[in-house]
């Protein structure tokens, strides 16, 4: 009898402690898109951090991590590894932040990325558009298309999701962003879906390929296909890189040297 009572008291205390510790006391639906104020405008905040980086060399590195879906432990391992490498100045995440694109998935991703000791930017992936993900992404990160300059290089972040977004990629915007390519040492384009895969029809593929070629893009970086590939896909000078997903703790480092670059595949 006494033992039963003690068990009951322990159970009640357990529930009370869990209640007190809950991140959110009440939740109303998995489809909620109510992003916490502190998690908003992540892209703008990180662009400012990148702007503040002081660098007096032509050589620098950035990491490309992609396709988390729900491999949170591997994401954490990769983040811890990147933290140890001082030559990596910032991280770009290649999309599929979430799997069902529930707010909870975005929040878990956000909390893990808080462990990163350098700035990071994201591009939206096709999975990130599911459920209310489009709204959550906009609130938590910001624009789907944007660009920035770093150390006389231009980075163009391009939303090329077709099916889940119910819209065609904004190639007009991409073209405008690339017209000033002659002013930069190199131009890097980052989009979740590679032009040579499922969601692109042949017209879109042709458009993308031509834009890269005509604007002297050095490297077009992607996720989506979950495997590593690097090289010239078309008969032109543009390199295409696809980075593996986080089912295993893998990512790529892009080492930029003046007007060239090289790729390292890291498998932890």
Which residues here bind other proteins, judged by CB under 8 A? 8, 11-12, 15, 18-19, 21-35, 70-73, 75-76, 100, 102, 104-105, 107-108, 111-112, 129-135, 139, 163, 198
When the beta carbons of 163 and 183 are compared against other proteins, the nearer one is: 163
When the beta carbons of 29 and 262 are compared against other proteins, the nearer one is: 29
Kindly report each contact of residues 43-49 with a partner whose C-beta sits within 8 Å and lies 24 or more positions away, as own/partner.
43/121, 43/122, 43/141, 43/142, 43/143, 43/146, 44/142, 46/90, 46/119, 46/120, 46/121, 47/119, 47/121, 47/146, 47/148, 49/90, 49/118, 49/119
φ/ψ region of 210 (left if φ > 0, alpha if ψ in -120 to 50, else beta) reads alpha
Q: How far is the CB of 31 from other proteins (least distance, A)?
A: 4
Q: Using alpha carbons, list the distances in angstroms from residue 104 to 26, 27, 98, 135.
A: 13, 10, 9, 13
Q: How far is the CB of 145 from other proteins (least distance, A)?
A: 20
When the beta carbons of 73 and 206 are compared against other proteins, the nearer one is: 73
Q: How far is the CB of 101 from other proteins (least distance, A)?
A: 8
Contact 140, 37 (CB under 8 A): no
Q: How far is the CB of 68 from other proteins (least distance, A)?
A: 11
When the beta carbons of 133 and 195 are compared against other proteins, the nearer one is: 133
Q: How far is the CB of 224 from other proteins (least distance, A)?
A: 12
When the beta carbons of 135 and 225 are compared against other proteins, the nearer one is: 135
Q: Using alpha carbons, list the distances in angstroms from residue 133 to 17, 32, 64, 124, 149.
A: 31, 10, 22, 10, 27
When the beta carbons of 6 and 22 are compared against other proteins, the nearer one is: 22
Q: How far is the CB of 259 from other proteins (least distance, A)?
A: 39
Between the two ends of the chain, the Cα-to-Cα distance in Å is: 53
């Amino acid at each position: 009898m006494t033992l039963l009572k003690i068990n009951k008291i322990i159970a009640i205390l357990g529930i009370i402690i869990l209640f007190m510790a809950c991140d959110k006391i009440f939740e109303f639906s998995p489809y909620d898109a109510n992003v916490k104020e502190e998690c908003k405008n992540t892209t703008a905040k990180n662009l400012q951090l990148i702007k503040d980086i002081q660098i007096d060399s032509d050589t620098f590195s950035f990491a490309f991590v992609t396709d988390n879906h729900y491999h949170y432990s591997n994401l954490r391992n990769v983040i811890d590894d990147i933290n140890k490498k001082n030559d990596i100045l910032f991280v770009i995440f290649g999309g599929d932040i979430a799997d069902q694109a529930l707010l909870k998935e975005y929040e878990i991703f956000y909390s893990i990325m808080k462990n990163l000791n350098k700035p990071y930017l994201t591009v939206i992936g096709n999975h990130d558009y599911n459920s209310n993900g489009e709204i959550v992404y906009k609130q938590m990160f910001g624009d789907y298309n944007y660009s920035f300059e770093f150390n006389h290089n231009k980075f163009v972040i391009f939303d090329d999701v077709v099916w889940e977004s119910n819209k065609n990629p904004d190639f007009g915007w991409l073209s405008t962003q690339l017209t000033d390519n002659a002013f930069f040492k190199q131009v890097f384009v980052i989009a979740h879906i590679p032009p040579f895969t499922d969601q692109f029809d042949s017209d879109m593929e042709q458009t993308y390929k031509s834009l890269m070629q005509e604007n002297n893009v050095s490297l077009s970086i992607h996720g989506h296909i979950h495997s590593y590939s690097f090289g010239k896909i078309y008969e032109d000078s543009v390199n295409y890189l696809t980075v593996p997903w986080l089912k295993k703790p893998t990512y790529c480092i892009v080492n930029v040297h003046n007007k060239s670059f090289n790729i390292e595949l890291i498998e932890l």
